[in-house]
Amino acid sequence: MNRPVAAVKRALRRRKPADPPALISNPKPSLTYRLISYLLVFPVYRLLFRGRTLGNRNVPMDGAVVVVANHGSHLDPPLLGHALGRPVAFMAKAELFKVPLLGAIIRACGAYPVARGASDREAIRTATDRLLEGWAIGVFIDGTRQGDGRVNNPQAGAALLAARSGAPLLPVAIINSHRALGPGKGGIRLVQIQIRIGTPIQPPASRKRPDLDLATEACQRQINALLDQGLAQDVS
């Protein structure tokens, strides 16, 4: 082997591996996102529902994170994105992106399309790509709205996303949204809504089911414990 080639190979072996994209990129909110967040979501959350957020210091403001929350209402996605102080991307039906104006708005807010009937594997792949771009990805851990607003039947999808991307899990409790506009409710009730942000949980050690289950159970315990704290009576 000639000396120049050998020198190049030695240099490549010594070179430090690049940081994963999730740690070096951080998408900025678009103008549309900021307008919707502050002109629409802000007054609805802060004024109409007297919303308060606790634990904002726990939110990683740079790099990818899997935001894991309970789900009691259709109000949850926009409230969660506004309360965390950084864009949170959620899965949305592909058909919604074809609706004039609505499609442009939800795309600007970070939503990503998933085709009707798409496999879970395809949805996981799409979400993982967003995480590798540095997004915060929102996952409702039960997969569907719960009448009592608690985490009752957690799925392992959020833990799998964390394992695939290396992003931490951030448990978040949305208090009272199920009472404001939950399943089976005929109209909106103007109850107070608060969001409690928990402490980050490291991604699972592997994609094996036992490791995913441990991370999922840790998220469930923390979210339900935050819900059990109830509404804070005096928040500055």
27-41, 145-159, 167-181: least confidently modelled range: 27-41
> What is the model's pLDDT at position 4?
44
- Roughly how many angstroms between the first and final C-alpha of the chain, as a whole number? 69
Predicted confidence at residue 26, as pLDDT, reads 67
Q: Would the pLDDT of 25 be above 60?
A: no
* 70 belongs to a structural domain: yes
Instruction: Kindly state the average pLDDT of the residues 19-26.
Output: 48
Asked if residue 157 is part of any domain, the answer here is yes
Q: What 3-state class would DSSP assign to 23? A: helix
Average pLDDT, the chain: 84
In a domain, 30, yes or no: yes
pLDDT at 178 over 80: yes
Write down the residue that tokens 């726990």 correspond to.
58
Is residue 234 in a domain?
Answer: no
Residue 88 forms beta bridges with which residues? Answer: 136
Domain that includes residue 215, residue range: 17-228
**Residue-level pLDDT at 234:** 65
Q: Which residue has the higher pLDDT, 94 or 150?
A: 150
Q: Name the token pair of 228.
A: 């059990």
Looking at the predicted structure, is the pLDDT value of residue 28 above 50? Answer: yes
- pLDDT of 15 reads 36
Higher pLDDT, 169 or 62: 169
CA-CA distance, 224 to 217, in Å (whole number)? 11
| 7 occurs within a structural domain | no
Which element (helix H / strand E) includes 121? helix 120-132
Residue 105: its pLDDT value, please? 73
- Is 6 within the bounds of a domain? no
The C-alpha R_g of the chain, in whole angstroms, comes to: 20
Residue whose C-alpha is closest to residue 165's, from 52, 76, 64: 64
- Unique residue bearing structure tokens 């309970």: 70
Read off the pLDDT of residues 62-117 as tens digits, 9 standing for 90 and up.
899 999 999 999 889 889 888 998 889 888 777 777 878 777 777 777 777 777 65
In a domain, 220, yes or no: yes
Q: Please say if the pLDDT value at position 17 is more than 50.
A: no
155, 216 contact by CB (below 8 A): yes
Residues 206, 64: contact at Cβ < 8 Å?
A: no
Number of domains in the chain: 1
Band (pLDDT 50/70/90 cuts) for residue 131 is very high
Confidence of residue 19 (pLDDT cuts 50, 70, 90): very low
Q: Is 8 part of a structural domain of the chain?
A: no
- 65: domain CATH number is 3.40.1130
- The partner residues of 54 in beta bridges, in order of sequence, read 196
